Amino acid sequence: MKRNRIGIKKMISQLLAVAVFAALTACSGKQETGKSEAGIVGTESTAEESINSIMASQESRESAGMPSSDGDVELLNVGCIYEFDVESPYCDLIKYLSYDSFMYANLVRYDENNEVVPCLCEKFEIAKDGTAVTFYFKEGIKWHDGQSLTMEDIEFSLNLWLDVLKPSVALRYMKDVEVLDENSIRVNMQSSCAYVFLRHMIMSSAGCVIYPKHIWEDVKDLKSFSGPDAMIGCGPFVYESYDEEAKVAYFHRFEDYHEGAPTIKRVAFHLYESPESVVMAYKNKEIDCMFQYAAGLAGIYVPALKELDYLDVGEEVNLGSSILEFNFKDELMQDLDIRNAVYAALDYELLAATGGGDYCVPGTKGVISPGNIGYAADMAVNKQNISEANQILDDAGYIDTDGDGLREKKDGTELKIMVSPAYSASKGTQYQRLAQVVVRDLEKVGIKVYLDEEVSNSDAWKARFSQNKDFQIAITGCSQGVAIIDTVNQGLVEKAGSDGTLTWNGTNNTPEYVEIFSRIINSRNPEEYAVAADESQRYLADQMVAITLGVESMFYPYNTADYTNWSARNGNGAFSYDTWFTVKAKQ
Amino acid sequence: MVVLLFVALFAPWIAPYDPWEMSIPFLGPSWEHILGTNDVGQDIFSELVFGARTSLLVGFTASLAITVMGSFLGAFAAYYGGWADRCIMVFINVALSVPSLPLIIVLSAFLKRSVWNIILCICLTGWVGTARIIRSQALRLKDMGFIRNCRTMGCSSLYIIIRHLLPNLKETILTKGMLSVASSMLTEASVSYLGLEPMTSKSWGTVLNDAFRAGGVFNGYWWWYLPPIACISLSAFCFLSLQEES
């Protein structure tokens, strides 16, 4: 009996061992990025065309990894730090891809020099007085479901922006939409802001793209409409599927795209949580390039990236920058002497090194970074001057009256400044480190400073910075996109525009500044824009509205071992519109 | 263990630099900075020396709170039995079913960044293991002769628990206490590695977090990321060894 029992136990344990081994083997299968069947799990396509496309792409998947005979790229793996939470144009990833007309497209787009060029229109014309822009219809454009783009789609979309989406910035300057004839449509503005309007419509975070009327006209709640139909655009790439477990979104090229089919057959977006994960993905050769709107990798990762033979690090100058922003709603920060003393106290060399290692240098007075239209090249480079900072504070009456080594306010009460680093998935840690340097530097001139520890998540930061505006000094950033669209001033001015009532993102509403920014918005051409931008930089320097903490390079590494003919656009790196039509697999 | 305590107690004298003082960033190891400097030019060795303080503070404080709370509630549940026992056990079982590390991470992210909040978060779920073990041991003791004698002599329940029940469980309590120190230190390291500690706090977890976030790990700056790992592992090993001894 005992022997039998032992035998049964032995058999059971052997069976268990086999089962465990089988399970482990099944689990340890290497994740085939975009090459496995997993890539098409998770969605149902309703349109016949979509099914055909997926079938076609399945065939191409079988040959993924091998260069095709025409040199087209079978599968490009792209890393990014976005969420794919919903199948709609309002999903984070799709929203930022739409800036470059990837799946959803717009009437205009940026070319490789960040100049506005036609995309879904034949041409556009800005009225001489800058109060209107006319778009001319382009024949032969198709939606991903096979239907043709019509003038009705464009009219429907522009009215959607105007009446429903109500975008938060310059698109609010739209007055009305007027169909002139069957081939042209005009957007009238409230002021002469048509030139800046075009830039804003390319990079609208509110989802201002051209929508297929036949799908969206009956949709009651735009933001909650999702699914395969909500993913039908007319850009060069068609949505295929999202693998939620692997966090990979797949797209394939649109063969009927009106500017010709891309040279990339399929794109797989690998979604990561942080820049560190993206660097790790490069190290593991999981990705060929990255897509992160206006936020490439920081210089601190370059030594590691340079070790990877298959990559070009893709260096480009960031036209935006990390900035220190004063809150003009705060009584203490309204004092120019305090702002000037802060400016003189900061160690810009250390701030630059902290922000970007060897690839960041101190910026200049006036916040606007070199390379931007209207950049004033004669501004002084930021430099620390502790004795000047002390002198300014002494002269202004901020002196240590109780002998504790810390200065008091003019009325003798405690002088205390809070420094709030912005919460950000991609740059939050950098802002925290910069804030620590700022605190250290201000302590050196006898100011009691403390770090804002309450901002530990995104909601807390929004409440502090945008809703309550109860910060004193914020360490944040001007993105490259904002810098290109309408300068860093967008984040610093509070109200501006034709009637001076439109709310912007900042806290400064002094009439002189509002007037300068209104002129930037209302500039009718690049020349007027440059003059107003130059003037704004001088105002920012004189009034010390904000301080740039470094002019940095950012990096968008791309695979040069397997692919060639990459194009780059400043702000998007190598994964840009032009690349989609030029990049080739090496034979 | 003695070395660790010594380093923590005399950190200002042992550390060659003020760990918050900033100089030249990204320096490699040299005689001047034996473990180099971090991304804001702070001396990494000095950060580790001061980091011992935070790690031990969190380890000992959280462990003390966990042990006191867990022991008392466990003994209380066992001694009184009935509804009190059932209520406490339901509470323990619910707390045991909640994954503690994710809960701590979520709480730390939404509370103000502070070492004391981290200790609080660790304590919230940490006491249940101790309570469960003490309860089971106390159940065995409460019907023994010396406890019955106390009851016959009219001693109060609180007196019996504090003077007779818990002292007879001191080995178990001490063992769980040692384990709690090690686990609290590891939890603190995890939380601070995730960047949820105060921004200026110096702990081994924050040094590791800085190394990871500022490219130290990717760029192969081993002098930045290996020492904090060694410190965390060694200290946890010390407490686990002490627990074995006890």
Q: Are strands A315-317 and A551-555 parallel, antiparallel or unpaired?
A: antiparallel
What confidence tier does A504 reach under pLDDT thresholds 50, 70, 90? confident
8 Å CB contact between A296 and A573 = yes
AA letter at A335: D
State yes or no: pLDDT of A14 exceeds 60.
Answer: no
CA dist list (Å): A553 to A442, A483, A573: 27, 15, 12
pLDDT at A430: 86
pLDDT at A69: 62
Element (H, E) at B204: helix B204-213
Q: Exposure of B17 by Cβ count < 10 A (0-12 exposed, 13-18 middle, 19+ buried)?
A: middle
pLDDT at A30: 37
From chain A, the residues in CB contact with B214 under 8 A are: 300, 429, 433
- For A472, the token pair is 């004193």
Distance CA B50, CA B60 (A): 16
What confidence tier does A20 reach under pLDDT thresholds 50, 70, 90? very low
Over residues A82-88, the mean pLDDT reads 88
End-to-end Cα separation, chain A, in angstroms: 70
* A109 Cβ contact partners less than 8 Å away, ≥ 6 residues apart: A100, A101, A116, A117, A118, A119, A202, A577
End-to-end Cα separation, chain B, in angstroms: 14
From chain B, the residues in CB contact with A357 under 8 A are: 25-26, 39, 215
Q: Residue A83: left if φ>0, alpha if ψ -120 to 50, beta else—which one?
A: beta
Among B39, B110, B114, beta carbon nearest to A433:
B39
Torsion from C-alpha of A322, A324, A329, A335, nearest 10 degrees: -150
- pLDDT tens-place string over residues A283-298: 999 999 999 888 889 8
Contact B196 A432 (CB under 8 A): no
What confidence tier does A42 reach under pLDDT thresholds 50, 70, 90? very low
What confidence tier does A51 reach under pLDDT thresholds 50, 70, 90? very low
* A37 Cβ contact partners less than 8 Å away, ≥ 6 residues apart: none
From chain A, the residues in CB contact with B217 under 8 A are: 276
Distance CA A553, CA A573 (A): 12
Query: Which range among A128-142, B125-139, B164-178 has the greatest average pLDDT?
Result: A128-142
Torsion from C-alpha of A350, A351, A356, A358, nearest 10 degrees: -30
Tell me the β-bridge partners of A569.
A573
State yes or no: pLDDT of A56 exceeds 50.
Answer: no
Among B24, B26, B40, beta carbon nearest to A437:
B40
Q: Touching check for B17 and chain A: CB below 8 Å?
A: no
Distance CA A421, CA A430 (A): 9
Distance CA A70, CA A500 (A): 56
Contact A350 B199 (CB under 8 A): no
State yes or no: pLDDT of A240 exceeds 50.
Answer: yes
Query: Which range among A497-506, B17-26, B101-110, B154-163 has the greatest average pLDDT?
Result: B17-26
8 Å CB contact between A415 and A337 = no
What confidence tier does A416 reach under pLDDT thresholds 50, 70, 90? very high
State yes or no: pLDDT of B245 exceeds 80.
Answer: no
Distance CA A97, CA A89 (A): 9
- pLDDT tens-place string over residues B98-157: 887 788 778 777 777 788 888 888 888 788 888 888 888 888 887 778 877 887 887 888
Element (H, E) at A158: helix A151-160
Which of A204-208, A432-436, A461-465, B199-203 shows the lowest per-residue confidence on average (mean pLDDT)? A204-208
From chain B, the residues in CB contact with A429 under 8 A are: 195, 213-214
Closest CA to A288 of A319, A264, A260: A264
**What number of C-beta contacts closer than 8 Å exist between A and B?**
78
Among A280, A350, A432, beta carbon nearest to B199:
A432
* Closest residue on chain A to B209 (Cα): A429
Contact B40 A433 (CB under 8 A): yes
Distance CA A332, CA A234 (A): 52
Q: Can you list the domains of chain B with their CATH numbers? A: 2-245 (1.10.3720.10)
Q: Touching check for B195 and chain A: CB below 8 Å?
A: yes
Distance CA B123, CA A576 (A): 50
Q: Which of A441, A453, A552 to mutate against chain B (most B CBs within 10 Å)? A: A453
State yes or no: pLDDT of A9 exceeds 80.
Answer: no
From chain B, the residues in CB contact with A457 under 8 A are: 109-110
Q: Touching check for B214 and chain A: CB below 8 Å?
A: yes
**% pLDDT > 90, chain B:** 17
Q: Distance from B187 to chain A by nearest Cα, in Å?
A: 19
Q: Exposure of A117 by Cβ count < 10 A (0-12 exposed, 13-18 middle, 19+ buried)?
A: middle
State yes or no: pLDDT of A208 exceeds 80.
Answer: yes
Over residues A20-42, the mean pLDDT reads 38
* Closest residue on chain A to B115 (Cα): A453
Among B198, B199, B215, beta carbon nearest to A300:
B215
Over residues A546-558, the mean pLDDT reads 93
Q: Are strands A289-290 and A315-317 parallel, antiparallel or unpaired?
A: unpaired
Q: Distance from A453 to chain B by nearest Cα, in Å?
A: 5
Q: Are strands A448-451 and A416-421 parallel, antiparallel or unpaired?
A: parallel
Contact B22 A276 (CB under 8 A): no
- pLDDT tens-place string over residues A155-193: 999 988 888 776 656 567 788 899 998 889 999 988 888
DSSP output for A191-258: SS-HHHHHHHHHT-TT--SPPPHHHHTT-S-GGG--SGGGG---SSEEEEEEETTTTEEEEEE-TT-T
- For A53, the token pair is 């496309």
Over residues A516-530, the mean pLDDT reads 86
Secondary structure class of A474 (helix, strand, coil):
strand
Roughly what angle, to the nearest 10 degrees, separates helices B82-97 and B44-80? 150
Mean residue pLDDT across chain A: 84
State yes or no: pLDDT of A23 exceeds 50.
Answer: no
pLDDT at A498: 56
Over residues A348-366, the mean pLDDT reads 90
Contact B213 A283 (CB under 8 A): no
AA letter at A252: H
State yes or no: pLDDT of B75 exceeds 70.
Answer: yes
Distance CA B45, CA B224 (A): 9
* Helical residues (DSSP H) of B143-169, grouped into ranges: 145-152, 157-160
From chain B, the residues in CB contact with A439 under 8 A are: 200
Over residues A2-31, the mean pLDDT reads 48
State yes or no: pLDDT of A49 exceeds 60.
Answer: no
Query: Which range among A84-88, A170-174, B212-216, B222-226 has the greatest average pLDDT?
Result: B222-226
Distance CA B38, CA A96 (A): 34
Tell me the β-bridge partners of A495.
A503
Q: Distance from A230 to chain B by nearest Cα, in Å?
A: 33
8 Å CB contact between A372 and A483 = yes
**% pLDDT > 90, chain A:** 50
What confidence tier does B95 reach under pLDDT thresholds 50, 70, 90? confident
8 Å CB contact between B199 and B192 = no
AA letter at A250: Y
Which of A427-436, A448-457, B190-199 shows the lowest per-residue confidence on average (mean pLDDT)? B190-199
Tell me the β-bridge partners of A250.
A241, A268
8 Å CB contact between A435 and A467 = no
- pLDDT tens-place string over residues A439-482: 999 999 999 999 998 887 788 888 998 888 999 999 998 887 78
Q: Residue A56: left if φ>0, alpha if ψ -120 to 50, beta else—which one?
A: alpha
Element (H, E) at B184: helix B170-193
8 Å CB contact between A239 and A251 = yes
8 Å CB contact between A548 and A367 = yes
Among B109, B111, B218, beta carbon nearest to A279:
B218
State yes or no: pLDDT of A505 exceeds 90.
Answer: no
**pTM metric for this prediction:** 0.76
The more confidently predicted of residues A505 and A119 is A119
Tell me the β-bridge partners of B43.
B37
- For A278, the token pair is 């993206």
Q: Distance from A466 to chain B by nearest Cα, in Å?
A: 19
Among A283, A357, A436, beta carbon nearest to B200:
A436
8 Å CB contact between A426 and A81 = yes
